[in-house]
């Protein structure tokens, strides 16, 4: 394969990777896991109209808005808007008093349907006035099916890899603010200081999330959505084909790419120079000293990135005179672009060092001695002999170091944090976009990293093949 064909193939593969990544369904909204205070539970124990049902949920005919926060169904006269999912609640005391495990609803009381998922069942609450106005019969299979279909379809887009609503076998439906299932009490639409909450507490008022409680129970997550007439909920259709790709790319935040390229571009300069200097230094010291230095220079390659990040955070922070000095001069090393560069240099440096050292050690020592007898200085020998003869291995080490620095995650997150446009590199963006439910963005950046990795491997293979052919011709 010549270089022209390789470049053509590379361009086609990169385009295919990007197209594949953006073809993943859009409309994933950020999970709403806001936490807040809770109110004193409603002490009333009105009768429940709960009904259990199996796990079969038919979402055929359900249309989801492109933002993933609204849905309508062909089989229903109402729609769901302002959908959000709370992955976690809070179990804190409020004003010195315990009120149970709670979720902040984020809507006014009486305007929102609220679903709480436990270990093996879901309790779905629809305010009585909404159920009456929209003619939602929570006791009929048809009314339950419509509600379930839309909530399951919406929840699937915001599950972010965690358990989805569709996986639950049993559902209970109620319009009462207090619903009890065994030793568990669910209290919906509870207001405090102008905010609305859902509480989960023991019937006896105990903390069900205490592992020593014989009735231990901890909710998995909660879903919220506002039922309304179909015409009152705007369902923005998702773009398809090239229009979807164009819309995705135009709305994408490209800052992780620029941060990664800037970080890696600066880091590779330091990596290249330091790797060559360290390799040359190890050639001219005693074997015992060389073994010690080799361990020091190589150990970042075998340590977990989080360990490297932790050590760098300690070294560059206020705990040491080194870190405090930079803070005092107004150039803090942690949680800054400089931190990204430092983390990339530390984790990628061993690759450059090892490749350069191996190349230097493979040179003919007699040739270097002959150059010295001709009066060549060590600097001239290094520049005129060692570098040209070792260039193939040095270039491969530089490219591998570039790829390693580009893909660094653990040490960068520890030392630099996750600041959009400042320290959020592509690997960090992949993690946090996935955690926030933006699967399409995470897949796109994954495709970009794969494309870069493909380029690196292809370059090294082509370079090695060219060098091997050159050496064979020279040998003949």
| 438 closest CA partner among 11, 164, 31 | 31
Integer Cα distance of 257 and 253 in angstroms: 9
User: Within a 13 Å sphere around the CA of 179, how many CA atoms are in the beta-carbon half?
Assistant: 25
Residue 348 lies in a domain: yes
What is residue 349's predicted lDDT score, i.e. its pLDDT? 94
What is residue 473's predicted lDDT score, i.e. its pLDDT? 57
Domain boundary among 237, 267, 291: 237
Question: Domain limits at 313?
Answer: 252-470
Helix, coil or strand: residue 150: helix
Please give the DSSP secondary-structure letter assigned to residue 363.
Answer: S
DSSP string, 283-351: HTS-HHHHHHHHHHHHHHHHS-HHHHHHHHHHHHSTTSHHHHHHHHTT--STTSHHHHHHHHHHHHHHH
Do 342 and 427 belong to one domain?
yes
Is the model's pLDDT at 268 over the cut of 70?
yes
Residue in the block written with tokens 């949680």: 335
Residue 36 lies in a domain: no
Residue 319 lies in a domain: yes
Q: Render pLDDT for 220-265 as a digit per residue (tens, 0 to 9).
A: 999 999 999 988 887 777 767 777 788 778 888 899 999 999 999 9
Residue 414 contacts residue 306 (beta carbons within 8 Å): yes
Do 219 and 352 belong to one domain?
no
Do 227 and 101 belong to one domain?
yes
Residue 196 lies in a domain: yes
Do 290 and 225 belong to one domain?
no
Do 336 and 461 belong to one domain?
yes
CA separation, residue 315 to residues 144, 324, 347 (Å): 59, 9, 15
Residue 10 lies in a domain: no
Do 313 and 287 belong to one domain?
yes
Domain boundary among 237, 266, 296: 237
Is the model's pLDDT at 40 over the cut of 50?
no
Q: Render pLDDT for 282-317 as a digit per residue (tens, 0 to 9).
A: 988 888 999 999 999 999 989 999 899 999 999 988
Do 262 and 310 belong to one domain?
yes
Residue 29 lies in a domain: no
Do 262 and 383 belong to one domain?
yes
Domain boundary among 237, 271, 299: 237
The CATH number given to whatever domain includes residue 310 is 1.10.3720.10
Do 257 and 232 belong to one domain?
no
Do 195 and 266 belong to one domain?
no
Do 300 and 404 belong to one domain?
yes
| 187 closest CA partner among 84, 100, 86 | 100
Number of domains in the chain: 2
Residue in the block written with tokens 């305010």: 127
Do 169 and 309 belong to one domain?
no
Helix, coil or strand: residue 458: helix
Q: Render pLDDT for 173-195 as a digit per residue (tens, 0 to 9).
A: 999 999 999 999 999 999 887 78
Please give the DSSP secondary-structure letter assigned to residue 49.
Answer: -
Average pLDDT over residues 360-374: 87
Average pLDDT over residues 95-120: 89
Residue 88 lies in a domain: yes
What is residue 462's predicted lDDT score, i.e. its pLDDT? 80
What is residue 242's predicted lDDT score, i.e. its pLDDT? 79
| pTM for the model | 0.61
Q: Provide φ and ψ at 202, rounded to 5°.
A: -70, 150
Sign of CA dihedral 38, 43, 46, 52: positive
Average pLDDT over residues 393-398: 88
Query: At 63, which helix (H) or strand (E)?
Result: strand 62-64
Residue 340 lies in a domain: yes
């Amino acid at each position: 394969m010549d270089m022209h064909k390789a470049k053509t193939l590379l361009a086609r593969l990169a385009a295919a990777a990007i197209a594949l990544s953006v073809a993943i369904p859009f409309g994933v909204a950020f999970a709403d896991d806001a936490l807040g205070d809770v109110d004193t539970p409603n002490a009333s124990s009105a009768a429940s109209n709960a009904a259990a049902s199996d796990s079969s949920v038919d979402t055929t005919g359900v249309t989801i808005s492109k933002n993933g926060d609204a849905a309508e169904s062909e089989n229903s006269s109402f729609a769901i808007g302002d959908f959000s999912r709370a992955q976690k609640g809070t179990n804190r005391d409020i004003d010195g008093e315990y009120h149970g495990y709670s979720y902040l609803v984020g809507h006014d009381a009486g305007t929102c349907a609220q679903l709480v998922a436990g270990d093996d069942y879901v309790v779905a609450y629809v305010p009585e006035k909404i159920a009456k106005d929209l003619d939602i019969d929570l006791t009929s299979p048809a009314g339950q099916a419509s509600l379930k279909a839309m909530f399951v379809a919406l929840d699937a887009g915001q599950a972010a890899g965690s358990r989805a609503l569709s996986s639950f076998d049993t559902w209970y439906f109620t319009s009462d603010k207090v619903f009890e299932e065994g030793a568990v009490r669910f209290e919906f639409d509870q207001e405090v200081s102008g905010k609305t909450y859902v509480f989960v507490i023991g019937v006896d008022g105990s903390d069900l999330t205490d592992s020593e409680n014989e009735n231990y129970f901890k909710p998995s997550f909660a879903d919220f959505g506002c039922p309304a007439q179909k015409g009152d909920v705007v369902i923005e259709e998702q773009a398809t084909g090239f229009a979807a790709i164009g819309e995705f790319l135009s709305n994408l935040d490209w800052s992780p790419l620029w941060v990664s390229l800037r970080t890696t571009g600066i880091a590779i300069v330091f990596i290249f120079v330091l790797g060559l200097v360290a390799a040359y230094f190890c050639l001219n010291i005693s074997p015992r000293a060389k073994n010690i230095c080799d361990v020091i220079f190589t150990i970042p390659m075998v340590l977990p990135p989080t360990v490297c990040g932790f050590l760098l955070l300690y070294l560059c922070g206020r705990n040491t005179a080194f870190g405090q000095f930079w803070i005092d001069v107004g150039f803090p090393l942690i949680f800054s672009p400089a931190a990204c560069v430092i983390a990339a240099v530390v984790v990628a440096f061993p690759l450059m060092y090892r490749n350069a050292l191996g190349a230097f050690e493979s040179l003919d020592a007699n040739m270097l001695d002959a150059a010295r007898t001709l009066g060549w200085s060590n600097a001239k020998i290094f520049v005129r002999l060692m570098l040209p003869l070792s260039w193939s291995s040095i270039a491969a080490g530089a490219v591998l170091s570039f790829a390693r620095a580009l893909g660094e995650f653990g040490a960068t997150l520890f030392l630099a944090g996750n600041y959009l446009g400042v320290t959020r590199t592509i690997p960090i963006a992949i993690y946090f976009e996935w955690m926030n439910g933006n699967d399409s963005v995470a897949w796109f950046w994954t495709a970009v990293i794969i494309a870069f990795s493909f380029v690196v491997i292809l370059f090294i293979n082509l370079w090695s093949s060219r060098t091997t052919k050159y050496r064979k011709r020279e040998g003949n």
